Amino acid sequence: MAHREALRRREPLWFNGAVPSFGDPDAWLAIVGLAPGERGANRTGRPFTGDFAGDLLYRTLGALGLARGSYRADPGDGLVLSGVIITNAVRCLPPANRPTPAEIASCRPHLAAVLQSLARLEVVLALGRVAHDSVLRALGVAPACAPFVHGAAHPLPGGRVLVSSYHCSRYNQNTGRLTETMFRAALETAIAQRSSASRR
């Protein structure tokens, strides 16, 4: 809290608040990130907008036909997501860009409410283990029943499916843990799971 207050004083023109979800309210796919990045979503007010992680995320969504328009790292860029909504496990900027377990737990009811509000939701794509576990807990599933594995799909209550990917963070991209090809493949798995979710 104190660091957010300090940031509000230092950067009064930044968003500096609980970042709302962005995308299609009729989404079949919810992408769940970790938390707003300091100079990304915390500055611009739109998830993954203005940081390194967003470049890969929005580029891949565009390449797969899930976003229309040009991503220009600015909430005023007119980008429209089609069938997709993006949210975060934690809504406010965490200290040192690293959310505590208490913060993740206190944001979980918001995540649960977002997922609950999506009547057409079929697939959730979790970016990273924290988002993966938080989605499971938000839906009443014990994480031990569906361990995080990059690219794997797990059934969720109500015939929905959870697909998980390493987070598209700068660290994961720079260390080669996540390549552009791997990230695209995870999104393609989410798309493939859509049709199997509809058949259940």
Q: Evaluate whether 17 touches 8 at the Cβ level (below 8 Å).
A: no
Which range, of 10-18, 37-45, 172-180, 186-194, touches ligand URA by CB under 6 A?
37-45
Chain centre distance of CA 66: 14
53 binds ligand URA (CB under 6 A): yes
Under the criterion CB under 6 A, does residue 47 sit at the interface with ligand URA? yes
Nearest residue by C-beta to ligand URA?
A: 33
Binding-site size, ligand URA (CB under 6 A): 12
**Are 132 and 145 within 8 A, CB to CB?**
no
Query: Is residue 45 part of the contact set for ligand URA (CB under 6 A)?
Result: no
CA pair distance 171, 178, nearest whole angstrom: 9
- The conformation of residue 142, written as its DSSP 8-state character, comes to -
Q: Which is nearer to ligand URA, 163 or 197 (CB)?
A: 163
Tokens 């406010």 belong to residue: 92
Return the number of the residue (37 or 197) whose C-beta is nearest ligand URA: 37
**Residue 36 in the binding site for ligand URA (CB under 6 A):** yes
**Is 23 among the residues that bind ligand URA (CB under 6 A)?**
no
- For position 61 contacting ligand URA by CB under 6 A, the verdict is no
Whether residue 32 contacts residue 135, with contact meaning beta carbons closer than 8 Å, is answered with yes
Provide the β-strand partners of residue 84.
29
CB of residue 157 vs ligand URA: minimum separation in angstroms? Answer: 24
Q: Minimum CB separation from ligand URA for residue 165, in Å?
A: 12
Give the whole-angstrom CA distance, residue 164 versus residue 129.
Answer: 8
Check residue 40 for interaction with ligand URA (CB under 6 A): yes
| Residue whose pair of structure tokens reads 């036909």 in the numeric block | 65
Residues 80-139 that bind ligand URA (CB under 6 A): 88
Q: How far is the CB of 87 from ligand URA (least distance, A)?
A: 9
Closer residue to ligand URA, CB minimum distance, 125 or 197:
125
Question: For residue 37, what are the CA distances in angstroms to 43, 61, 91, 102, 121?
Answer: 8, 19, 10, 18, 26
Of the candidates 127, 152, 154, the residue with the CA atom closest to the CA atom of residue 58: 127
List of residues contacting ligand URA (CB under 6 A): 33-37, 40-41, 47-48, 51, 53, 88
